Amino acid sequence: MEETVANSAENMIKINDIYKDLSFYLSENIELASYGFMGLFIFWLIIKSSYKNRLAIKDLKQAVIKNLHEPLTLHPVIDESLCMGCGDCTVVCPEGGSVLQLINHKAVLIKAAKCVGHGLCENACPVDAIDLVFGTKQRGMDIPRITSDYETNVAGLYIAGELGGMGLISNAVKQGQHAAEHALNNLKDDSDTDIDLFIVGAGPSGIAASLAAKKMKKSFVCIDQNTMGGAVYNFPRQKIVMVQPIVLPFEGAMKFKNNVVSKEELLEQWEKLVSKHKLKIREKEAFKGVSGQNGHFVVTTSKKTYTAKKVLLAMGVRGSPRKLGLPNEDMAKVAYNLIDPEQYQGKNVAIVGGGNAAVEAAQYLAKKQYKNKVTLIVRGDEDSGLKRCAEDNKVLLFKCVEQGNVQILYTSSVKGIEKRELLLKIGDTEKKINNDFIFVFAGAEMPHKFLMSLGIEIEKKYGSKLKAS
């Protein structure tokens, strides 16, 4: 026993001596050791970077194969000569790294079709290597001609939000506020009008513009052909509409719990703001037209005529849904938005479209408690049919398919609408399916003819910068 203890003690002494020798060596050669550790760390970074680089190249190749590399709306363009490869743009992108990635230490737009023009990447770039642009060199995009202050070619007439080619609530809020402030800071006092600013549309842009006018103590009226909230009001119940705070006049940053905001939460906050600041929001009043310029506009609505020094069009485009152009499309069974899924239970429901709105509608209507039979009609094939849909939405959709609650018909389209049936073309064949309701989510048509009737010029953008005037 004593011998065992002695041996253990001897071993401990030896280990301690070795530790002392090692400590002495490191203290005498600390610079060499630090270089060694630094070398290992750099080597690890190189391996990691190389691996991520290969993945990004693979993702880009897959995006090209699936036709996801072509942008569909406002998107970033990266100047490689300026890009320093810091990766800040890839971090702030709300699409979770699927849109922007680094390849060979340069930011690259990978899945351009998934980009919805948040603009966070442009703001995050420390060297101004990113510009947001409309259209591409190959495919132009028709949008109203506006300056960087959102004023059209008709002096005193402004456009903000979705009507100007940009989606997203955060973008609409910024534009509405900026346009209102610019308009009201450039008033001419020599004209006698009912109000200073007439605002068309009580959605995000219209509410932000109304708050800006109120803060500047200027007279204004805001109308909406439907209800306060604009397009948001027509979203499905409990739909998540924002994932980042917005900044409003008077209120500053509107922060919500976890920065995840549902339709109901946002509308509730807007209603409180309208009441708190006594904003003049006139619902169920449709905009009919405007004439004049340079300090005096005559605005006609469904209820009366106004005179205003400045006019802001913030009405969006959802009031002009793209239709199928088929006989019987005016039947009560045909709709272009889904507000309350609970209204549809035990029905044969068809949904046309492969974007987020269509896929989300399919998820809502396919809930087990509703007992609906949901058919998603997608024009493209399995690779391209859902290219405009976010990845998380596709995951949820495919889960519904696995559970047998949704059927997806690729390379298909509606050819006929009947009282209890739909005639579909699926590939090269035609087929009739039972149908009680059909929801069409084929996008919206820009009201270009109407805008041109107001004197607003429409121009085709081929990779034109957003900031350009």
Instruction: Kindly state whether residue 128 falls inside one of the protein's structural domains.
Output: no
Smallest CA-to-CA distance from 159 within 168, 172, 142 is with 172
Higher pLDDT, 169 or 407: 407
Query: Which pLDDT score, from 0 to 100, does residue 50 have?
Result: 75
In the predicted model, is pLDDT for residue 308 greater than 70? yes
User: Is 312 found in the same domain as 165?
Assistant: yes
Name the residue with tokens 């004439």. Answer: 291
φ/ψ of residue 413, rounded to 5? -155, 160
User: Is 167 found in the same domain as 75?
Assistant: no
In the predicted model, is pLDDT for residue 8 greater than 50? no
Smallest CA-to-CA distance from 222 within 160, 149, 151, 291 is with 160
* Element at 426 (helix H, strand E): strand 421-426
User: Among 49-53, 107-111, 297-301, 313-317, which range has the highest average pLDDT?
Assistant: 297-301
Give the gyration radius of the chain's Cα atoms.
Answer: 29
466 exposure class (CB count in 10 Å sphere: 0-12, 13-18, 19+): buried
DSSP percent split of the chain into helix, strand, coil, nearest 5: 35, 25, 40
> Taking the model in full, what pTM does it have?
0.70
| Domain total of the chain | 3
Instruction: Kindly state whether residue 193 falls inside one of the protein's structural domains.
Output: yes
In the predicted model, is pLDDT for residue 395 greater than 70? yes
**CATH number reported for the structural domain that contains residue 174 in this entry:** 3.50.50.60
User: Is 460 found in the same domain as 436?
Assistant: no
Region 39-68 average pLDDT: 72
Report the range of poorest mean pLDDT among 33-42, 65-74, 147-156, 275-284: 33-42
Instruction: Kindly state whether residue 107 falls inside one of the protein's structural domains.
Output: yes
Query: Which pLDDT score, from 0 to 100, does residue 33 have?
Result: 54
CA atoms 149, 154, 158, 160: torsion sign: negative
Report the range of poorest mean pLDDT among 48-52, 126-130, 166-170, 462-466: 462-466
447 exposure class (CB count in 10 Å sphere: 0-12, 13-18, 19+): middle
Domain ranges, residue 61? 39-113
In the predicted model, is pLDDT for residue 179 greater than 70? yes
User: Is 53 found in the same domain as 191?
Assistant: no
Three-state secondary structure call for residue 425: strand
Say how far apart CA 104 and CA 254 lie, in whole Å: 39
In the predicted model, is pLDDT for residue 466 greater than 70? no
Instruction: Kindly state whether residue 32 falls inside one of the protein's structural domains.
Output: no
Beta strands, E only, 277-391:
281-282, 287-291, 297-301, 305-313, 334-335, 348-352, 373-377
Banded model confidence at residue 182, pLDDT cuts 50, 70, 90: very high
Three-state secondary structure call for residue 158: strand
Instruction: Kindly state whether residue 436 falls inside one of the protein's structural domains.
Output: yes
Say how far apart CA 202 and CA 224 lie, in whole Å: 5
User: Is 82 found in the same domain as 47?
Assistant: yes
Query: Which pLDDT score, from 0 to 100, does residue 248 have?
Result: 81
User: Is 44 found in the same domain as 77?
Assistant: yes
Local structure of residue 146 (DSSP, 8 states): B
Smallest CA-to-CA distance from 250 within 204, 281, 209, 195 is with 209
In the predicted model, is pLDDT for residue 11 greater than 90? no
Region 47-75 average pLDDT: 76
Query: Which pLDDT score, from 0 to 100, does residue 303 have?
Result: 95
Beta-ladder partners of 341: none
User: Is 267 found in the same domain as 185?
Assistant: yes
Share of the chain above pLDDT 90, in %: 38
Of the chain, the end-to-end C-alpha distance in Å amounts to 92
pLDDT in tens, 184-224: 999 876 668 899 999 999 988 999 999 999 999 999 999 99
Region 373-398 average pLDDT: 87
Query: Which pLDDT score, from 0 to 100, does residue 41 have?
Result: 60
Instruction: Kindly state whether residue 174 falls inside one of the protein's structural domains.
Output: yes
Banded model confidence at residue 113, pLDDT cuts 50, 70, 90: confident
Say how far apart CA 354 and CA 357 lie, in whole Å: 8
Instruction: Kindly state whether residue 236 falls inside one of the protein's structural domains.
Output: yes
Q: Is 411 left (phi over 0), alpha (psi -120 to 50) or beta?
A: left
Residue 92 near residue 170 (C-beta atoms within 8 A): no
Query: Which pLDDT score, from 0 to 100, does residue 6 have?
Result: 40
In the predicted model, is pLDDT for residue 435 greater than 80? yes
HSE-CB at 218 with a 13 A cutoff on CA atoms is 28
Say how far apart CA 378 and CA 385 lie, in whole Å: 6
User: Is 297 found in the same domain as 204?
Assistant: yes
Residue 60 near residue 100 (C-beta atoms within 8 A): no
User: Is 239 found in the same domain as 213?
Assistant: yes
Say how far apart CA 351 and CA 191 lie, in whole Å: 51
